[in-house]
Structure 1
Amino acid sequence: MADNNNKITLTRLSHVIYQHPDIEKYKSFAKDFGLEVADTQPDKNLVFFRGYGLDQYVYIATQAPAGEGKKFIGAGFTARSREDFDRATRLPGAEVIDISAWPGAGSLVKIRDPNGYEVRILHGQEEQALPKKGISVVDGGRPTLNGAIDKHRKGEFTRMVQSPAAIHKLGHFGYETDNYEGTHAWYTSNFNLEPTDVLHTPGNESLDVATFFHLDLGDEYVDHHCFLLARREKPGTSVHHSSFEVEDMDTQMIGHQWLRDRGYDNVWGIGRHVHGSQLFGYWYDPERFIVEHYADGDVVNGKHEIYRAAAGNMAVWGPPVPAIWGGKQQVSA
């Protein structure tokens, strides 16, 4: 566990913000992806999408001004306390935003990271009530699984419903950047983000090329990563993908088929990741941003020791890695 006395403690990743030239087109995709509209504020060109987790919204779509195109704007986190929130308001360039009319209200401050993307810190938002169990495509909820030898589901049947994969929460997002060291230093010096797994160049352990970060909350277990940072050679920084949790493998598989049957473009998956262990399925949205469904991810706490490995081993099983991420599989741009 790191010494976080001088850092702003965040408790979870909350939401991402994207700018779209055609919000109505995105709304159609979002419904098929498993997001639900939480609120629409046409006077502010905002649409809020929610899952069934604690957060009132996990995705904010904003209408692009005339003449502008798509854009990733940034991501929001929740602060542990009012003191942590107040400390965020004192960071250079911090701007407090009135969100009293947004779902769940609360307080919000936005700052910019070294690459110009917004980091939004929330506090005091009214949380959604959690369901008693996750929302699965298995009718009546997930029964016990039967193994080859041990048959625990006796006299019970697994019945599925065809539907989108209901989103629980935003799990993680990430950047590709030529400003790897500067971005790494800024996030870890200001917030309780700590490396979980670090990947280095094969054959050169001194050159790190990707870091998976979790939120250090001491003994409390949290997701294996909420933030991914990857090094790239070409100038600038861009969003890599945003990833949303679903309940289980069947929910992920049926959600995958739901999207495929409706003609959306699959980027990669379904497969099983190495770092984080998630079942994954990546998709292009209408603006060619990449979004992911995942299930069954690892969790860690402050006692976790950083795991280092050579980059390149991205999946235990699954389709070939797409060309856009260094593989030989061709994916349309």
Structure 2
Amino acid sequence: MTGKARLHHEITTGAVPATMGSTNESPVIRLQRLSFVIYEHPDLNTFKRFAQDFGFEEASSTADETLFAGYGRDPFVYVARAAPADAGKRFVGAGFAAESEDDFKKACALAGAEKSDTAGRHGGGLAVRITDPNGFEVQICWGQREQPLPPRGISAEAGRKGRPVINGTLDKARRGEFTRLTPGPAKVHKLGHYGYNTDQYEKTCEWYSQTFNLIPTDVLWAPGHEDVDVATFFRLDLGEEYVDHHCFLVARAETVDKPAETTVHHSSFEVEDLDTQMMGHQWLLDAGYELVWGIGRHVHGSQVFDYWHDPSHFIIEHYADGDVVNNKYKTLKAEAGNMAVWGPPVPVIWGGEKLTA
């Protein structure tokens, strides 16, 4: 029996030992990257049409579930499921790729861990799911077949892989070549980050940082109350390797004007460049979808953002040009509220004033 087959047998039969023969004494489960999010939609077919306009590629589909891919290494980046007939929309959780088989075994040995059915799943591999303090799923995957990467990111410029060359005021690097853009969806590369608002802010931050190699890049405090943290941008600690500024956001749920609750905030997907993002923005506008906020540039993470409502009224984002950091970066603390360097006014749902025409 091969190592992968033996591991699959152990997960299936519940025979993964508590000690796991681990060579890594740390209790922390090391994750290599964020891979996918999982949502349930009341009308799966309507979401599938939106997904195509958003820039996803359909990887596989059944009557009740469709997997969507980008052009990055992950076999899929978005799992769309049909919501049960007696239920509404629901954010289910997210999936990560383990850094090693040893880390995957650690996840299997956690209290309450359950094997996730990957039979016939696009990309194969093994998966185990655990539940976070808010009841959301965290799937840990190992042994998936990765997609081959293109030589360059896919731009909206006709026939080009990689961003267009930019002519500056003095440096005219693009000589005798024209920039010609192709109308269409903004091709998605990967899932960059997701986040949610929670009424268990401290407990959630503690659980994720103690269970996984997630560390804070930026922490924001409540305006006028420096001792009250209200948001943490977590990244994966991969040592000297540069990683995205954040892959996971935890925000404190509002409690002043309404009962505290835990809700998904948004999921965000990377595209190649600003031209691709702008063309995708126009494509979604022309298709009649509902814009939430954009296009603008964030402060924390620096990425150019573009937020939309999908047909189920979940918030989904395109982003480009985000920061990357490594272990030389020290956690920065700042006052919350400074959300954009430039862009439209902050929407009402995130504390802004109502927009006028």
2:292 is aligned with 1:267: yes
Q: Are the aligned partners of 2:35 and 2:95 in contact in 1 as well (CA < 8 Å)?
A: yes
Q: Are the aligned partners of 1:187 and 1:193 in contact in 2 as well (CA < 8 Å)?
A: yes
2:76 is aligned with 1:51: no
Question: Paired residue for 2:98?
Answer: 79
Counterpart of 1:195 in structure 2: which amino acid?
P
Structure 2, unaligned stretches of length 5 or more?
1-24
CA distance in structure 2 between the aligned counterparts of 1:139 and 1:64, rounded to whole angstroms: 38
Kindly provide the CA deviation profile for residues 55-107 of structure 1, in whole angstroms up to 9, marking residues without a partner as x. Answer: 01100011111111100000000000010000001111100123031011000
Question: Paired residue for 2:4?
Answer: none
Kindly provide the CA deviation profile for residues 136-160 of structure 1, in whole angstroms up to 9, marking residues without a partner as x. Answer: 1011323321101111111111110
Question: Paired residue for 1:283?
Answer: 308
Q: Are the aligned partners of 2:345 and 2:355 in contact in 1 as well (CA < 8 Å)?
A: no
- 1:330 CA displacement: 4.7
Q: Are the aligned partners of 1:49 and 1:58 in contact in 2 as well (CA < 8 Å)?
A: yes
Counterpart of 2:206 in structure 1: which amino acid?
A
Counterpart of 1:312 in structure 2: which amino acid?
G
CA distance in structure 2 between the aligned counterparts of 1:255 and 1:128, rounded to whole angstroms: 23
2:43 is aligned with 1:18: no
SS state at 2:28 partner: coil
Question: Paired residue for 1:113?
Answer: 132
Kindly provide the CA deviation profile for residues 113-166 of structure 1, in whole angstroms up to 9, marking residues without a partner as x. Answer: 000000000000000000011111011323321101111111111110001000
2:186 is aligned with 1:165: yes
After the TM superposition, which segments of 4 or more aligned residues of structure 1 sit over 4 Å from their partners?
none
2:274 is aligned with 1:255: no
Cα RMSD over matched residues?
Answer: 1.3
CA distance in structure 1 between the aligned counterparts of 2:354 and 2:157, rounded to whole angstroms: 33
Question: Paired residue for 2:17?
Answer: none
Q: How many residues align?
A: 327
SS state at 1:258 partner: helix
CA distance in structure 1 between the aligned counterparts of 2:206 and 2:159, rounded to whole angstroms: 47
Counterpart of 1:73 in structure 2: which amino acid?
V
Q: How do 1:133-144 and structure 2 match up within 5 A?
A: 133-141=152-160, 142-144=163-165
Counterpart of 1:99 in structure 2: which amino acid?
T
SS state at 1:205 partner: strand
Work out which of the residue numbers 231, 250, 265 in structure 2 matches 1:210.
231
- TM normalised by structure 2 equals 0.90
- 1:236 CA displacement: 2.1
Q: How do 1:170-319 and structure 2 match up within 5 A?
A: 170-232=191-253, 233=255, 234-319=259-344
- 1:270 CA displacement: 0.1
Counterpart of 1:125 in structure 2: which amino acid?
Q
Question: Paired residue for 2:79?
Answer: 60
Counterpart of 1:240 in structure 2: which amino acid?
H
Counterpart of 2:127 in structure 1: which amino acid?
L
2:185 is aligned with 1:152: no
SS state at 1:320 partner: coil
Kindly provide the CA deviation profile for residues 214-239 of structure 1, in whole angstroms up to 9, marking residues without a partner as x. Answer: 00000000000000010012322110
- 1:329 CA displacement: 2.7
- TM normalised by structure 1 equals 0.96
Q: Are the aligned partners of 1:143 and 1:156 in contact in 2 as well (CA < 8 Å)?
A: no
SS state at 1:108 partner: strand
Q: Which has the larger radius of gyration?
A: 2
